[in-house]
Amino acid sequence: MSDGELLPFARFDPIAFVRSGAVWEGNIPPTRLERLADRLAIGEGTLFCRLVPERDHAQRAVTHLFLSGSLPLICPRCLKRVTWSVALERRLVWFRSEKAIPPEELEEEGWDARLLEEDLTVAGLVEEEILLALPIGAVCASCTIPASPHAGKPISPFMDLTQVEFDDGCSTK
C-alpha cells in the first residue's frame, strides 16, 4: 500500500483500503485476540487472513474477507482438546450510520453490513467474525452419538485431536 503498511492491530480504514486497491494478507496470532483467547484451549492455533478491497453495485466500499486456519477448542462433553478448522468468507459492506443500511442488504447471504468506526482494526474485525462463527456446544467426533432414526445428527465440525497429533507429531518414515 502506498500510504504505509496495513497492520492488523493498527487502525483500519475500509474506505482508504478500497481506494488503495491492494490486497492484504497476513497471519494473526489467535492468542493476541483477547476475547477469542478466553474461549480457546491452551495451545497453538493459526489464523490466516486475506482482505480484498471491492465495491458493491452501489459503489460502496466492501472488504472481502477470507479466513483460514485452525483453532484449539475444548469439547464440552469430554473436555478434550479438539481442533476447529476455520474456513470463512464474508463480504463486509461499510456504512456510516445504522440508518444508511437498507434492510434488504442484511438478508443477502455472505454479505454483511458493518458500521465504520474510529477504533476499527483488522484484528478486531477478524475476532468478531470468528466469535460469531464459533461452534458453541458442538461436541468432538468421539462424543458424537450415533443418530437414532428419529433424532437429528449432532454437529461435529471438529477433527479429532488425536488424529491431528498423530499427523503432526509422529514420523511415519
**Site residues (CB under 5 A) for Zn ion?**
75, 77-78, 140, 143
Least distance (Å) between residue 39 CB and Zn ion: 16
CA distance 6 to 1: 7
The candidate with the shortest Cα–Cα distance to 90, out of 128, 60, 137, is: 128
State the residue for C-alpha cell 470463512.
Answer: 88
Least distance (Å) between residue 158 CB and Zn ion: 8
Q: Which three cell numbers stand for residue 139?
A: 461436541
Nearer to Zn ion, 73 or 143 (CB): 143
Least distance (Å) between residue 77 CB and Zn ion: 4
* DSSP code, position 4: S
Nearer to Zn ion, 78 or 147 (CB): 78
Nearer to Zn ion, 92 or 140 (CB): 140
Least distance (Å) between residue 34 CB and Zn ion: 26
Nearer to Zn ion, 33 or 143 (CB): 143
With beta carbons less than 8 A apart as the criterion, state whether 131 and 67 touch: no
Nearer to Zn ion, 6 or 140 (CB): 140
CA distance 133 to 138: 12
Helix (H, G, I), strand (E, B) or coil at 161: helix
Least distance (Å) between residue 156 CB and Zn ion: 9
Helix (H, G, I), strand (E, B) or coil at 49: strand
